[in-house]
Each structure stands twice: as C-alpha cells, then as structure tokens.
Structure 1
Amino acid sequence: MSLSAFLSGRRLLVVEDDWFVAAALVQSLEAEGAEILGPAPSVARALRALEEAEPAPDGAVLDINLGGERVYPVAEALRARGVPFVFVTGYDPGAVPEAHAAAPVLSKPVTMAAVAKALFEDGGG
C-alpha cells in the first residue's frame, strides 16, 4: 500500500516546538494528502487544538520535549479519546515513562513512511 493511501484524508495533530521541524513535518504530511491540525508548540496549545477538533484527529505526531515541558498530558488526552499517536523525538526511547511505553517512539529525523506505519499499521499509542 502506498504512503498516500495511509495518509490521504487523515486528520493529524502535529505537536512540535521547533518551527523548522514542525514546518517540515507539516509539509511532508500534507504532500501525502493529510490534513494537519497545528502545529502546536506547547502542551496547552495542543490540548486546546484537541478540544476544538471536530471530528477528533485520526492520529498525532508528538515531540516529547516542548521547550522544557513534557508532552505526556497530550498523550493521555489522546489515549482517552482513542486517538493513536507516535512520539517523534531526539530522546532515547527509554526516556518514555512506563505509562506510555507501548507508544511507538521514532528518532528524529523521521520519514513519513515510518510515521504512517507507526500510526496506522502498528496502532500508535
């Protein structure tokens, strides 16, 4: 199955505080047909985007460190809504707390194929 087949028409929340990384993610995901919510550079903005999203996103791409703030409250809100997510980070996968150990962790830089596979083939967080 093609990458566009996985991403086309999917609504994805992007949570990333680095503008350049966020722009690259958004551009790559949109090129494959995804609709983007965000990018949200903080936990507060991500939670607000999630609350305002109608319908809920189909998945989310989460950076772990947002300017010194951890993204885990967003991961918890996504899990409560049944929305799959993937952590995309420069951190070691062992840094993820046990509560989120089942979530896929991809190391930056990532490919859109890896993001799509983690979210929609492997089931996300």
Structure 2
Amino acid sequence: MLLVEDESVIAMMVEDFLTDLGVTVIGPATSINAALELISTDQIDAAVLDLNIRGELSERVADALRLRRIPMVCATGYGEGAAEFARGAPIIDKPYSKDKLATALQSALHSAGGVDE
C-alpha cells in the first residue's frame, strides 16, 4: 500500500497502523513527484493519500491512482469539503485512529471490488 504523507510524525503513525493491519507499506512518499514515481514503478494495491502535500493539492496523485484503478483513502486536516478531486474515495479527517483507517480502507477496497463481504 502506498502512503503519501509529508508530515513525518503522521507518516510514522500511519505506517505503524498499516503494519499492525498486516499491510506492506510503500513509502512514505513525501512529495507529489515521489508519489507519482512510486505509482509508475511499484505494484500498488491501494493508497492512503494526504490531500495536501507540502502546500500543493495532491490532485495529480489522485488522478494517477484512478488511471491505474488503484483504490485510495484520502486524509485531510481540512474536512470533507477540502478537495473536489477526492470524490468517490473515503475521506478521513486528521488526526485519525487505526480503526477509522481500517474502516476507510475496507470501504475503498470494497468499492473497487477488492473485498468480498
């Protein structure tokens, strides 16, 4: 799973959450270009995407994920209305818990057809 997050403390916390959930983490990508590079070169099942990376909206990353049909969870400190480009993806508000992340990931994967109930 690709982790795109520019705040190191949050990235470490989310990486721990994902590891606890049994997920192999790719990244964290701390810039838009780093995320795009990982998307183009690595096998990615899903992504956790911060909507704002170093002051830049991560719309190009969301577009690249959608182009490759990679489900994503969007994380933001700005509320659900923060970015129109996150449409259709589960959005979780920072700070969030491991349980909220797990629920959002399950929703994203289910919507993409990757999880059976």
What TM bracket, shorter-length normalisation?
Answer: 0.7 to 0.9
1:52 maps onto 2:41 in alignment: yes
TM-score, normalization by structure 1 = 0.80
TM-score, normalization by structure 2 = 0.85
1:25-64 CA distance string (max 9 Å, x none): 00111122111110001100000111110xx311000001
Q: Determine which of 26, 29, 32 is the counterpart of 1:40.
A: 29
Contact 2:4/2:27, CA 8 A, preserved across alignment: yes
* Partner secondary structure for residue 35 of structure 1: coil
Taking a change above 3 Å as real, the CA distance of residues 102 and 70 of structure 1, as seen in their structure-2 partners, is same
Taking a change above 3 Å as real, the CA distance of residues 44 and 85 of structure 1, as seen in their structure-2 partners, is same
Report how far residue 115 of structure 1 moved. 3.2
For structure 2, the residue ranges without an aligned partner over 5 or more in a row are none
Which residue is 2:19 aligned to?
A: 30
Task: Say how many residue pairs are matched.
Answer: 110
Identity, % of aligned pairs?
36
Q: Determine which of 44, 53, 56 is the counterpart of 1:69.
A: 56
C-alpha distance in structure 1 between counterparts of 2:8 and 2:83, whole Å: 23
1:53-83 CA distance string (max 9 Å, x none): 0xx3110000011110111100000000010
**Structure 1 counterpart of 2:75, one-letter code:** V
* Partner secondary structure for residue 17 of structure 1: coil
C-alpha distance in structure 2 between counterparts of 1:38 and 1:49, whole Å: 8
Which residue is 2:83 aligned to?
A: 96
C-alpha distance in structure 2 between counterparts of 1:64 and 1:51, whole Å: 19
Q: Determine which of 100, 105, 110 is the counterpart of 1:116.
A: 105
C-alpha distance in structure 1 between counterparts of 2:105 and 2:87, whole Å: 19
Report how far residue 122 of structure 1 moved. 4.0
